[in-house]
Amino acid sequence: MDERLKHLTDVLDAFRTGDLPLGDTLERIDAAYFERAGDVTVDHDRARRTGAPEVIYGEFKTAEQILKTFRAIRTRGDNVLATRVHPDTYAAIEDELDGAEYHPVARALTFRQKALPEVETSVAVVTAGTSDAPVAEEAAVTCEFYGNPVTRIQDAGVAGIHRLLARAGELREARVVIVVAGMEGALPSVVGGLVDKPVIAVPTSIGYGASFGGIAALLGMLNSCASGVAVMNIDNGFGAGFLANRINRL
């Protein structure tokens, strides 16, 4: 907020000394509150406001659109994270993405040119089954993109609870735990009973019959009998990674 005060004080000083006419003064006062103009400005401000560099959500974008946005951000000197980039989409633009890395399981594209202060504490990403991997990897890649070390604990579903218990030590060393599960979505409850760290639960659309595209897992997680579990939207691995980074950086 200080920044605004400083800006306003400067503007008022220039106004009082006559360096700034009334019209310009009013305009600059406005600029302290509202963001004007084109999209770039807006994004600039969002980064300041919420601390997050821009992300490209690739799901509904053409290869061309992704490429164009990618280049624009790269040119600004920022890092790039593009999620939901289908392998075919990537294949189509692969040649023009020098230095970018494609993560096939996560279907994510990353490019880093600007160093981020790395975090020392880690985020654990736990999955119930192998089918949950794409969502879990999206979360993990997002965490790593923002500079967080990630511990992956895979295929630790509740029907073989010993697999999870065997890694309880690693789990407890993480500062934030992301749990990704489809079907009955029971894993976050078990994990939530084992650790004393924030647990971010991500339901996946993996399942059959009455899983209803992830509703069963979503409800299971919302109703978790373990305290300290918060829930993301179905398949929202990026959101979980984004939030884990925020928490881990506190």
Residues 177-236 touching its own copies, rule: CB under 8 A, are 183-186, 189-190, 192-198, 200, 203, 205, 207-212, 214-236
Closest CB to its own copies among residues 18, 98: 18
Is residue 175 within 8 Å of 151, Cβ to Cβ?
Answer: no
Q: Which of these ranges, 7-15, 73-81, 89-97, 105-113, lies near its own copies under the rule CB under 8 A?
A: 7-15
State the minimum distance, in angstroms, from the CB of residue 51 to its own copies. Answer: 3
State the minimum distance, in angstroms, from the CB of residue 90 to its own copies. Answer: 19
List the x/- string, 141-180, binding to its own copies by CB under 8 A: --------------x-xxxxxxx-xx-xx--x--x-----
Closest CB to its own copies among residues 94, 155: 155
Which distant-in-sequence residues (6+ apart) come within 8 Å of 54 by Cβ? 43, 46, 47, 73, 78, 80
Q: Which candidate, 139, 211, 147, 143, places its Cα nearest to that of 182?
A: 211
DSSP 232: P
User: Which stretches does DSSP call E strand in 15-122?
Assistant: 55-57, 80-83, 101-103, 108-111
For 179, the token pair is 């749990």
State the minimum distance, in angstroms, from the CB of residue 104 to its own copies. Answer: 14
Closest CB to its own copies among residues 95, 245: 245
Q: Which of these ranges, 46-54, 73-81, 100-108, 109-117, lies near its own copies under the rule CB under 8 A?
A: 46-54
Which distant-in-sequence residues (6+ apart) come within 8 Å of 245 by Cβ? 119, 123, 142, 143, 146, 147, 148
For 228, the token pair is 């300290």
State the minimum distance, in angstroms, from the CB of residue 148 to its own copies. Answer: 13
State the minimum distance, in angstroms, from the CB of residue 115 to its own copies. Answer: 19
CB crowding 104-115: b at 16 or more within 10 Å, else e: eebbbbbbbeee
Q: Within 109-138, which residues bind its own copies (CB under 8 A)?
A: 128-129, 131
Q: Within 53-72, which residues bind its own copies (CB under 8 A)?
A: 55, 59-60
The H-or-E segment that residue 141 falls in is: helix 133-145
